[in-house]
């Protein structure tokens, strides 16, 4: 493993993205988004995605200079046409608008259409939580989740993210796929020639496999419960916004890099003082989290809440650097040499 400092990665990825003609806002949003994910230990949605994002910007799948346009539907409901821009940039725009409206109205929902892969949703939502807002974030994806009772996939990994501010602590953050693992995490196993954890994937016949080379779909979390959540998210991000769904969504890795995927995302932004004083909310949430962690532990076990491990990892990586495996580093080095920008 090669370790690179967070600031160096942010600076390098930003410069490369500007070099391939992303505007300043989009380059900053994408660079911070992927580097924050890697900093938090979410490597499947971090800098690993950078070479793919560069290709998608060069060959036309993603618009480097989108004309973001908001449409006001109701007092607290806005639709953003992302103009096939980068999903991380569209998400940042949506959250900024949502915070502005929620500050006045208490709540705002923002649908995003004609978008692309948004990376780790936590990277988009956490900045709002640090400003005192509660955020729900959803996105759909191409067909990768094994249909419950079927042999083939229909819904995507369809992740859900929820963030909320805490008193003198990093925000509470739950960011998860509705499958046992994400497809990008599966690709990491494949790239590193490792077997998959049990019950995470299925082959083309719908049979469970731990071989990433045979995997054709991913298993739902909690069987029909995760499958049901995926259906809900599909409705919010496709049917609700007029976007494609299921098998009509172009695959992230197998479709033409010149063809926009036209994904949908859905965000709900709330003031944390909508029902109680903000100070009461953040202190009570911190108190709840402390009480959870004070429960009796199993032998040799620790109690973690969502985001606890990511906070620990981010502190370590901020100090010692972000680990980059040799395969990824070689890809980054090729990009560096190609654009004559050193890392």
pLDDT digits (tens, 9 = 90+) for 198-247: 999 999 999 999 999 999 999 999 999 999 999 999 999 999 999 999 99
Q: Helix, strand, or coil here: 267?
A: strand
Average pLDDT over residues 245-274: 95
pLDDT digits (tens, 9 = 90+) for 77-118: 999 999 999 999 999 999 999 999 999 999 999 999 999 999
How high is the pLDDT of residue 190?
A: 92
78 and 110 in contact (C-beta within 8 Å)? yes
pLDDT digits (tens, 9 = 90+) for 149-160: 999 999 999 999
Helix pair 326-339, 6-19: axis angle to 10 deg: 50
249 backbone dihedrals φ, ψ, rounded to 5°: -85, 125
Is pLDDT at 286 greater than 90 in this prediction?
Answer: yes
Nearest CA to 66 out of 115, 33, 8 is that of: 115
Average pLDDT over residues 195-199: 94
The percentage of the chain sitting over the pLDDT mark of 70, rounded to a whole number, equals: 100
Average pLDDT over residues 286-312: 96
64 backbone dihedrals φ, ψ, rounded to 5°: -70, -25
Q: Tell me how far apart the alpha carbons of residues 111 and 238 are, in angstroms, rounded to a whole number.
A: 10
Residue with tokens 């491990």: 309
Exposed, middle or buried: residue 283 (CB in 10 Å: 0-12, 13-18, 19+)?
A: middle
Is pLDDT at 188 greater than 90 in this prediction?
Answer: no
Q: Give the residue extent of every domain in the chain.
A: 77-271
**CATH of range 77-271; options 1.10.540.10, 3.30.1370.60, 3.40.50.720, 3.30.450.20:** 3.30.1370.60
Model confidence, pTM: 0.96
Nearest CA to 164 out of 278, 4, 258 is that of: 278
Task: Determine the distance from the C-alpha atom of residue 300 to the mean position of all C-alpha atoms in its chain, rounded to a whole number.
Answer: 32
Beta-carbon contacts of 309 under 8 Å, excluding residues fewer than 6 positions away, are 41
Is pLDDT at 164 greater than 90 in this prediction?
Answer: yes
Is pLDDT at 196 greater than 90 in this prediction?
Answer: yes
Residues in the chain: 343
How high is the pLDDT of residue 134?
A: 98
Query: In whole angstroms, how far apart are CA 231 and each of 174, 223, 225, 252, 330?
Result: 19, 13, 10, 19, 38
The percentage of the chain sitting over the pLDDT mark of 90, rounded to a whole number, equals: 98
229 and 158 in contact (C-beta within 8 Å)? yes
Q: Tell me how far apart the alpha carbons of residues 239 and 299 are, in angstroms, rounded to a whole number.
A: 47
Is pLDDT at 191 greater than 90 in this prediction?
Answer: no
Q: Tell me how far apart the alpha carbons of residues 137 and 148 are, in angstroms, rounded to a whole number.
A: 24
Q: Tell me how far apart the alpha carbons of residues 132 and 297 are, in angstroms, rounded to a whole number.
A: 31
Helix pair 6-19, 24-39: axis angle to 10 deg: 150
pLDDT band at 192 (very low <50, low <70, confident <90, very high): confident
Token pair of 19 as six digits: 């070099």
Q: Tell me how far apart the alpha carbons of residues 321 and 6 are, in angstroms, rounded to a whole number.
A: 6
Mean pLDDT, all residues of the chain: 96
Average pLDDT over residues 7-35: 98
Nearest CA to 168 out of 285, 297, 26 is that of: 285
């Amino acid at each position: 493993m090669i370790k690179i400092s967070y600031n160096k990665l942010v600076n390098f990825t930003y410069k490369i993205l500007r070099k391939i003609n992303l505007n300043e806002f989009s380059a900053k949003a994408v660079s911070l988004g992927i580097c924050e994910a890697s900093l938090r230990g979410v490597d499947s949605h971090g800098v690993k995605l950078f070479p793919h994002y560069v290709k998608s910007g060069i060959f036309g799948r993603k618009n480097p200079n989108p004309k973001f346009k908001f449409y006001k539907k109701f007092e607290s409901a806005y639709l953003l046409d992302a103009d096939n821009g980068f999903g991380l940039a569209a998400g940042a725009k949506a959250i900024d608008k949502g915070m502005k409206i929620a500050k006045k109205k208490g709540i705002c929902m923002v649908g995003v259409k004609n978008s692309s892969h948004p990376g780790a949703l936590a990277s988009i939502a956490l900045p709002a939580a640090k400003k005192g807002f509660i955020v729900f974030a959803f996105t759909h994806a191409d067909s990768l989740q094994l249909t419950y009772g079927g042999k083939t996939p229909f819904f995507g990994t369809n992740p859900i993210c929820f963030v909320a501010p805490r008193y003198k602590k990093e925000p509470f953050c739950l960011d998860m796929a509705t499958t046992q693992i994400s497809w990008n995490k599966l690709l990491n196993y494949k790239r590193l020639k490792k077997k998959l954890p049990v019950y995470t994937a299925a082959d083309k016949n719908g049979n469970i496999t731990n071989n990433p080379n045979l995997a054709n779909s991913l298993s739902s979390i909690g069987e029909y419960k995760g499958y049901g959540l995926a259906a809900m998210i599909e409705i919010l991000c496709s049917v609700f916004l007029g976007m494609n769904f299921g098998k009509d969504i172009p695959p992230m890795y197998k479709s033409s890099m010149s063809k926009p995927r036209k994904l949908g995302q859905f965000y709900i932004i709330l003031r944390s003082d909508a029902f109680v004083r903000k100070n009461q909310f953040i202190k009570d949430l911190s108190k709840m989290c402390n009480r959870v962690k004070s429960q009796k532990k199993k032998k040799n076990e620790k109690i973690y809440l969502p985001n606890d491990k990511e906070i620990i990892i981010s502190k370590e990586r901020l100090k010692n650097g972000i680990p980059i495996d040799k395969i990824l580093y070689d890809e980054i080095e090729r990009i560096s040499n190609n654009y004559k920008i050193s890392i």
